[in-house]
A and B are shown apart, each in its own frame.
Chain A
């Protein structure tokens, strides 16, 4: 059966032959100015990013931000309106079948055929994914074990709990041992213990596979991913390795005493970048201190306040800034989208 040729891209950037100027050849996923429009609505708007081999990247965004649409374009389910996406060196429009061979995909709601049994379903999918007959049994046994489905392998899919369905979907997505795993909200609907199990599984899979997963749970990204892409209003609002995002710690201090003097004392401490008086309350003053390079200055600051004789009530390093970063990024995207709209109206 011939691979169908479709080239209805609206924007085809003139470029050197494939292979040249393609950036890092180790990139398993390359996305360039990928756009999906539904009529006037831009669900995904000029998104570009790369994912290298063995990376685990989290796609984070509020509901309706374009995470699922992006993933559907990467898995060749939806054709992009414009832009380009290459997975394991194959373009999603030119060689969809090659892309599909190399990608394991867990769709958001884990659609399964309710009348099939677990092992039967995995066998069916393995056949469709061209797992050779000789390796099929071992591959299915392998994923059943990894996803702990031994107890339910004879059960009918329609009768499984949400957690098991999720695990069947996950097992199915990796039954053909793909280079790339694309997981749309892999822990949605699971209980805390199952979430831990699935996260551990994903981390383990990260050794051999390149993983792009979407979520709107902040802690999930911290627990699993090496890199974070925040997507809001169809655009990339932030793309950074996780360590760098975690760097920005804020030290929160509450102490009793004259606010101005304490402020000056804190400012003069070595390594302090910025101090902000964030509140006053019956004699206590609250400060937020940002340290250069995200260093932990709690001891030094505590000593400084003690030297001044000001009693300390709180001294905290809050590194949970991922959520703040996320909210800031989304807010910025909203503002930008608003500005865009204004501009359009002005024109």
Chain B
């Protein structure tokens, strides 16, 4: 794993030498700002209009439609390039003929994606201290921490899915579409299926509730750091990275 820092540095600098990273960052910054506006607005309303189910942190991030849609587009946009571009330009050949293992390559690319993902989420957390200093409103640190951890492992999982699809093709667009479809399935379709299952009083509703990413993040936002969810995220991540390494070992020239 000693080559990972070298590879990671190149991946990160490649992100910032193109326009894509800045565009996504800008979009996330705008969304964070809008959500923060909504949050301040909601908090400044008289208390009685706030129902018992109102939870500021989930209003701010995990309950926001903007946030989820931005995430669904941002992750494929961040990961599509990672391996597909090496295949397209042929740089995969010099990359895999130096004394570097496929695992090192895949882990570096995945880490670069995760770092970028965390940078995207940074604006959301940067606003919170302002709320405290300006409005004397302060969040419990527990839910903030559990949401941060949960979103991190979720991002690890999503990025690993993106890296896998990027390894399958030399066409970035195809990689992005596949990644988007899978994430869409995990976020929205699972949610809708769960709602449907509940309405049918089906026995599998509970199972769907467990895998539906939306509910997972909701729970994190409420301060419940459910280890089962973390385990799920990390196992999917490990499995996807394993598949990516195997793909690189067996399908080298695209």
For residues 12 through 48 of chain B, which have their beta carbon under 8 Å from a beta carbon of chain A? 13-14, 17-18
A-chain residues with CB within 8 Å of residue B7 when the two chains form the complex: 128
B-chain residues with CB within 8 Å of residue A77 when the two chains form the complex: 93, 96-97, 252-253
**Interchain CB contact under 8 A, A97 and B99:** yes
Instruction: Scan B238-254; emit 1 where CB is below 8 A from any A CB, else 0.
Output: 00000000000100110
Kindly state the interface size class of chain A when it binds its partner: 20 to 34
A-chain residues with CB within 8 Å of residue B97 when the two chains form the complex: 75-77, 100, 103, 105, 107
How distant is A140 from chain B, measured CB to nearest CB, in Å? 14
Total A-B Cβ pairs within 8 A? 68
For residues 125 through 156 of chain A, which have their beta carbon under 8 Å from a beta carbon of chain B? 125, 127-130
Q: Of B100-108, B113-121, B146-154, which binds chain A?
A: B100-108
**Interchain CB contact under 8 A, A100 and B90:** no
Residue of B nearest to A128 (CB): B98
**Interchain CB contact under 8 A, B253 and A172:** no
**Interchain CB contact under 8 A, B98 and A113:** no
Residue of A nearest to B14 (CB): A115
Q: Is B91 among interface residues, defined by CB-CB distance under 8 A?
A: yes
**Interchain CB contact under 8 A, A107 and B94:** yes
B-chain residues with CB within 8 Å of residue A114 when the two chains form the complex: 89
Q: Is B138 among interface residues, defined by CB-CB distance under 8 A?
A: no
**Complex: A113 Cα to B244 Cα, angstroms:** 22
**Interchain CB contact under 8 A, A4 and B249:** yes
B-chain residues with CB within 8 Å of residue A6 when the two chains form the complex: 249
A-B contact pairs, 15 of them (CB 8 A): A1-B101, A1-B104, A77-B252, A101-B99, A103-B97, A105-B93, A109-B90, A111-B92, A113-B10, A114-B89, A115-B17, A124-B10, A125-B94, A127-B3, A130-B99
Residues of A within 8 A of B (CB): 1, 3-4, 6, 72, 75-78, 97, 100-101, 103, 105, 107, 109, 111-116, 124-125, 127-130, 172
9 shortest A-B CB distances, which residue pairs? A111-B90, A115-B17, A111-B91, A127-B6, A75-B97, A100-B99, A128-B98, A107-B93, A101-B99
